[in-house]
C-alpha cells in the first residue's frame, strides 16, 4: 500500500537490507569497524546477528560433516546422538577449521568424555611432510603440562585418518569476544595476558614456538556462552564504544575502564599447535612455499619466511594485546599482501590514538612487542609478564634504522643551516695570526667562530709578513685586520684588510714624515716588525702603534697611525737598536695622562763599561743593552737612549 505505513515498512526493509549487507561483510572481514546505529537499528541488527549466526553454524556444520562422510573420512553413525563417528569417537559437529585441518566436537565413548578432535584436510592427508608436522604438534603439545595450555589426550590413526584428541574447552574464544564487544576493559585484558604469558613461558622453556598466536586460538573458559556477561556486567552487547559495559562514562574528558568482577573460574587456554615447531629442527614446513600463519598476526620475520624463534610468538601476542585495547589489529588492510606490506614497512599508531581510555602501560607493552627487529622486543614472556603485572610502561628501544631518513634530512638541514650562517652572518675579526713557516698568509678567528680561517695570501713580490692584528675602527665602521711586512724596494709594508680579505689601503714607512732621516738610510729598507692595536686618543676605535726596523742599520722607530685616515699622530721616536713590543699604560702621569711603554734593545754606547763590573754580573754584550722606554704620547719625539 503506497504512502503511510507502507512507506515506513519499506524504510525498515531498506535499513534491514543495509544491515544484513554490513553484517555479512563484517563476518567476511571486509568491514573492520562497526558503524554507528540508532536504537531501532541496534534492535534489528541484534536479531539479525543471532539469526545469521545460527544459520551459518547449521549450514557450516551440515556441509562439512556431510562432506567428510562422503569423502569417507568419517563414517555414518548408528547412534542418533552423533552425526558421524571416527573409531571410538562420536562426532557431534564442527568447532572450526584452519589451514591444516578441521576441529570436530566429539565424544570419546570409551573414556566417556567430551573432546575436541582434530583431523587433517583430506587434500593434505597424502603429504608426508604435513603428516610429520601434524604428529609433531601432538608430540610437542603433549609434552606440556600447564593449566593455560590445552591438554592433549592422545594421537592416533583410524581408517587412514590421522587425528589428535584434545581437551574440549567449554567457553568462548577471544576472537568471538572481540567480535561481539570490541575493545575490552583494562583489568580483563591484564588477566588474559597474565595467563597467556604464563603459558608462553612454559612452552618457550620447553623449546616450543607456537607460530600461530591469534584470538581464535585463545579460549576463555569459565565465562560460558555469555561472554562479557560472565564478568557480572549485566547489559546488552554494545554497538558504539560509549555504550560498552565496564566503562565509566562520568570520568570526563577521557572514558576510563572500570574494574569488572572477574570470576575466579576464568581460565585462558592456548590451543591449536598446528603450526608449532621445535627449535633446532632442520626443516621448516610451509604450504606451497608460502609463509605459514595468519597475516594480521604475523611477525615481520615470519612474513618474510625467515627462521623464527620464541620472539615471533611475543610479536603476535603484541598484536592480540593491541586488538584487545583498541578493537582492531594494527596493520589490517584490504588484502593479505597489503597487510604484510604494512607489517614490514609501517610503524603502528599508538593504541591511545586509536581508542579512548586506553591503558597507557599496556599500550606501551604492545608497542614494544610490535618492534620490527626481534632484538628490540622484550626478550621473554617472563619479562612481558613483569610489566603486565606491575602496570609499568615498557620503553621502546631507539633504532636508528627506523629514523634513518629523518636523520639524513635533519643532518642535511643542519649542514645547510650551518653553512648558510657562515655565509650570511657578519664576520667580526677578534684575532689575527701569521701562517708559518711561509710567512705569506694571514689567518683570522671571527667572533662566534671556533676555527681559524684563511683571510689573505700575499704574492711573492709583497715580501715576508712579520705582524698581524685585529683592529677596531669604531662602532659604526666595524673591525679590520692590520698586517705589517718586509717588502721589496718601493712597495708598501703596512696593509689594512677588511673582514673578508679585501685590501682597504696600504702605506710604506717612507710615507710617514722623515722616514729616511736616520743616518741617510736607503728607501725601501724598512720592515714593520710589530703592530699593536690600542685606543690612544680615548675616542671610539683603535690606533696602530707601529714598530719598524731598518733592515741594515741599527735604526728603529715608533709611530702611531690613525687607520681611519692613514695619517701619523704626533711625532716619531727613534731607537738605536731593535724594538719588540709596546702598550698603553693608562693614567700613568699625575695629571691622568697615559704613557706609551716600549721595550727592546739599545746598541751599547762607547765608554759605558768603566771596568768596574765583572763578566759574571755584566748585563750587556758589546752590541746590545736591554731597554724599557716610557714615552709621553703628547711628545712622541727624540732618540734613545734618553
pLDDT at 30 over 50: no
pLDDT at 279 over 50: no
Q: Which three cell numbers stand for residue 92?
A: 557431534
Nearest 10 degrees: Cα torsion 137, 143, 148, 151: 70
Structure confidence at residue 159 (pLDDT) = 85
Q: Is residue 309 a contact partner of residue 374, using CB atoms and an 8 Å limit?
A: yes
Hey, which residues does 632 pair with through a beta bridge? 595
* Long-range Cβ contact pairs of 134-137 (< 8 A, separation 24 or more): 134/100, 134/101, 134/162, 134/164, 134/274, 135/162, 136/276, 136/277, 136/278, 137/164, 137/273, 137/274, 137/276
Q: Across the chain, which distance is largest between two alpha carbons, in Å?
A: 148
Domains of the chain and any CATH numbers: 1-70 (no CATH), 76-168 (3.30.200.20), 183-394 (1.10.510.10), 456-640 (no CATH)
The tens digit of pLDDT for each residue in 556-583 reads 889 899 999 888 887 888 888 888 899 9
The tens digit of pLDDT for each residue in 515-554 reads 444 444 555 577 888 999 999 888 889 999 999 888 777 7
The tens digit of pLDDT for each residue in 220-257 reads 988 755 455 555 444 334 334 344 333 333 333 333 34
The tens digit of pLDDT for each residue in 186-201 reads 999 999 999 999 999 9
Q: What is the DSSP string of 563-574?
A: TTTTEEEEEEEE
Structure confidence at residue 234 (pLDDT) = 40
Q: What is the rounded distance in angstroms from the CA atom of residue 640 to the CA atom of residue 422?
A: 48
Closest CA to 262 of 190, 365, 182: 190
Closest CA to 238 of 294, 170, 179, 304: 179
Helices (H) and strands (E) in the chain, counts: 12, 29
Structure confidence at residue 44 (pLDDT) = 61
Answer with the residue of higher pLDDT: 557 or 2. Answer: 557
pLDDT at 350 over 80: yes
Q: What is the rounded distance in angstroms from the CA atom of residue 509 to the CA atom of residue 531?
A: 13
Structure confidence at residue 638 (pLDDT) = 80
Q: Is residue 82 a contact partner of residue 90, using CB atoms and an 8 Å limit?
A: yes
Structure confidence at residue 405 (pLDDT) = 76
The tens digit of pLDDT for each residue in 151-189 reads 888 888 888 888 888 888 888 889 999 998 899 999 999
pLDDT at 613 over 90: no
Q: Which three cell numbers stand for residue 589?
A: 702621569
48, 149, 405, 423 from 386: Cα distances, Å? 43, 20, 34, 55
Closest CA to 537 of 584, 469, 479, 606: 584
Q: What is the rounded distance in angstroms from the CA atom of residue 584 to the CA atom of residue 537?
A: 11
Q: Which three cell numbers stand for residue 475?
A: 662602532
Closest CA to 236 of 178, 173, 180: 180
Q: Is residue 171 a contact partner of residue 237, using CB atoms and an 8 Å limit?
A: no
617 CB contacts (<8 Å, ≥6 apart)?
Answer: none
pLDDT at 268 over 60: yes
Q: Exposed, middle or buried: residue 307 (CB in 10 Å: 0-12, 13-18, 19+)?
A: exposed
Q: What is the rounded distance in angstroms from the CA atom of residue 273 to the CA atom of residue 213?
A: 9
Average pLDDT, the chain: 77
pLDDT at 214 over 90: yes
Q: How confident is the model at residue 335 (pLDDT cuts 50, 70, 90)?
A: confident
pLDDT at 586 over 80: yes
pLDDT at 80 over 50: yes
Q: Are strands 577-585 and 526-534 parallel, antiparallel or unpaired?
A: unpaired
Closest CA to 224 of 168, 171, 169, 167: 171
pLDDT at 53 over 50: no
Q: What is the rounded distance in angstroms from the CA atom of residue 337 to the CA atom of residue 343?
A: 10
Structure confidence at residue 215 (pLDDT) = 94
Query: Which range, 128-132, 277-281, 479-483, 572-576, is most confident?
Result: 479-483
The whole-number average pLDDT for the span 212-218 is 91
First to last CA, the chain: 134
Q: Exposed, middle or buried: residue 266 (CB in 10 Å: 0-12, 13-18, 19+)?
A: middle
Structure confidence at residue 196 (pLDDT) = 95
Please give the helix or strand (H or E) that residue 308 lies within, else none. none
How many residues are there in the chain? 642
The whole-number average pLDDT for the span 334-352 is 91
Which residues are tagged catalytic?
A: 212
Q: Is residue 513 a contact partner of residue 568, using CB atoms and an 8 Å limit?
A: yes
The three-state secondary structure class of 269 is: strand
The tens digit of pLDDT for each residue in 100-111 reads 678 899 999 999
Cα within 13 Å of Cα(20), Cβ side: 8
Q: Which three cell numbers stand for residue 544?
A: 696602530
Q: What is the rounded distance in angstroms from the CA atom of residue 366 to the CA atom of residue 354?
A: 13
Closest CA to 542 of 446, 442, 589, 475: 475
Answer with the residue of higher pLDDT: 24 or 78. Answer: 78
Q: What is the rounded distance in angstroms from the CA atom of residue 191 to the CA atom of residue 186?
A: 9
Q: How confident is the model at residue 305 (pLDDT cuts 50, 70, 90)?
A: confident
Q: In percent, how much of the chain has pLDDT > 70?
A: 70
Structure confidence at residue 240 (pLDDT) = 40
* Gyration radius of the chain's alpha carbons: 47
Amino acid at each position: 500500500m503506497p504512502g503511510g505505513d507502507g512507506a515506513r515498512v519499506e524504510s525498515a526493509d531498506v535499513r534491514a537490507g543495509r544491515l544484513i549487507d554490513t553484517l555479512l561483510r563484517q563476518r567476511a572481514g571486509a568491514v573492520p569497524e562497526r558503524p554507528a546505529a540508532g536504537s531501532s537499528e541496534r534492535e534489528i541488527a541484534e536479531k539479525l546477528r543471532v539469526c545469521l549466526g545460527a544459520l551459518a553454524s547449521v549450514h557450516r556444520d551440515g556441509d562439512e560433516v556431510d562432506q567428510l562422510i562422503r569423502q569417507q573420512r568419517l563414517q555414518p553413525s548408528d547412534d542418533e546422538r552423533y552425526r558421524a563417528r571416527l573409531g571410538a569417537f562420536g562426532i557431534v559437529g564442527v568447532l572450526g577449521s584452519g589451514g591444516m585441518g578441521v576441529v570436530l566436537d566429539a565424544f570419546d565413548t570409551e573414556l566417556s568424555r567430551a573432546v575436541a578432535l582434530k583431523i587433517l584436510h583430506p587434500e593434505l592427508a597424502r603429504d608426508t611432510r604435513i603428516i610429520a608436522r601434524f604428529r609433531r604438534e601432538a608430540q610437542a603439545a603433549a609434552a606440556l603440562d600447564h593449566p593455560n595450555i590445552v591438554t592433549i589426550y592422545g594421537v592416533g590413526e583410524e581408517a587412514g585418518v590421522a587425528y589428535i584428541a584434545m581437551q574440549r574447552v567449554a567457553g568462548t574464544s577471544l576472537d568471538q569476544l572481540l567480535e561481539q564487544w570490541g575493545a575490552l576493559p583494562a583489568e580483563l585484558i591484564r588477566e588474559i595476558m597474565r595467563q597467556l604469558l604464563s603459558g608462553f613461558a612454559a612452552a618457550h622453556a620447553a623449546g616450543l614456538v607456537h607460530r600461530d598466536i591469534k584470538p581464535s586460538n585463545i579460549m576463555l573458559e569459565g565465562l560460558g556462552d555469555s561472554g562479557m556477561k560472565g564478568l557480572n556486567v549485566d547489559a546488552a552487547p554494545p554497538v558504539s564504544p560509549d555504550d560498552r559495559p565496564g566503562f565509566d562514562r562520568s570520568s570526563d574528558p577521557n572514558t576510563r575502564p572500570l574494574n569488572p568482577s572477574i570470576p575466579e573460574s576464568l581460565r585462558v587456554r592456548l590451543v591449536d599447535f598446528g603450526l608449532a615447531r621445535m627449535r633446532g629442527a632442520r626443516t621448516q614446513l610451509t604450504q606451497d612455499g608460502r609463509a605459514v600463519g595468519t597475516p594480521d598476526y604475523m611477525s615481520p620475520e615470519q612474513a618474510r619466511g625467515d627462521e623464527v624463534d620464541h620472539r615471533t610468538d611475543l610479536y603476535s601476542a603484541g598484536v592480540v594485546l593491541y586488538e584487545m585495547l583498541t578493537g582492531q589489529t594494527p596493520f589490517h588492510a584490504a588484502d593479505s599482501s597489503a597487510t604484510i606490506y604494512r607489517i614490514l614497512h609501517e610503524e603502528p599508531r599508538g593504541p591511545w590514538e586509536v581508542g579512548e581510555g586506553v591503558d597507557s602501560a599496556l599500550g606501551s607493552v604492545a608497542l614494544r612487542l610490535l618492534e620490527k627487529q626481534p632484538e628490540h622486543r622484550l626478550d621473554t614472556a617472563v619479562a612481558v609478564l613483569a610489566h603486565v603485572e606491575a602496570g609499568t610502561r615498557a620503553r621502546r628501544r631507539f633504532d636508528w634504522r627506523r629514523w634513518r631518513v629523518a636523520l639524513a634530512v635533519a643532518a642535511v638541514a643542519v649542514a645547510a643551516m650551518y653553512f648558510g650562517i657562515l655565509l650570511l652572518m657578519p664576520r667580526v675579526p677578534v684575532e689575527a695570526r701569521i701562517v708559518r713557516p711561509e710567512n705569506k698568509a694571514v689567518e683570522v678567528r671571527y667572533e662566534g667562530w671556533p676555527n681559524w680561517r684563511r683571510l689573505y695570501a700575499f704574492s711573492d713580490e709583497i715580501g715576508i709578513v712579520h705582524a698581524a692584528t685585529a683592529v677596531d675602527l669604531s662602532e659604526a665602521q666595524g673591525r679590520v685586520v692590520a698586517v705589517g711586512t718586509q717588502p721589496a724596494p718601493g712597495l708598501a709594508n703596512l696593509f689594512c684588510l677588511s673582514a673578508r680579505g679585501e685590501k682597504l689601503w696600504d702605506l710604506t714607512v717612507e710615507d710617514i714624515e722623515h722616514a729616511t732621516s736616520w743616518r741617510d738610510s736607503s728607501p725601501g729598507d724598512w720592515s714593520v716588525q710589530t703592530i699593536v692595536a690600542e685606543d690612544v686618543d680615548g675616542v671610539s676605535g683603535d690606533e696602530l702603534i707601529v714598530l719598524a726596523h731598518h733592515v741594515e742599520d741599527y735604526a728603529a722607530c715608533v709611530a702611531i697611525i690613525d687607520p681611519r685616515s692613514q695619517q701619523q699622530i704626533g711625532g716619531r721616536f727613534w731607537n738605536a737598536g731593535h724594538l719588540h713590543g709596546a702598550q698603553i699604560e693608562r693614567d700613568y702621569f699625575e695629571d691622568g695622562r697615559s704613557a706609551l711603554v716600549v721595550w727592546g734593545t739599545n746598541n751599547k754606547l762607547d765608554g759605558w763599561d768603566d771596568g768596574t763590573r765583572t763578566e759574571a754580573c755584566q748585563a750587556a754584550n758589546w752590541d746590545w743593552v736591554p731597554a724599557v722606554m716610557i714615552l709621553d704620547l703628547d711628545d712622541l719625539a727624540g732618540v734613545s737612549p734618553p
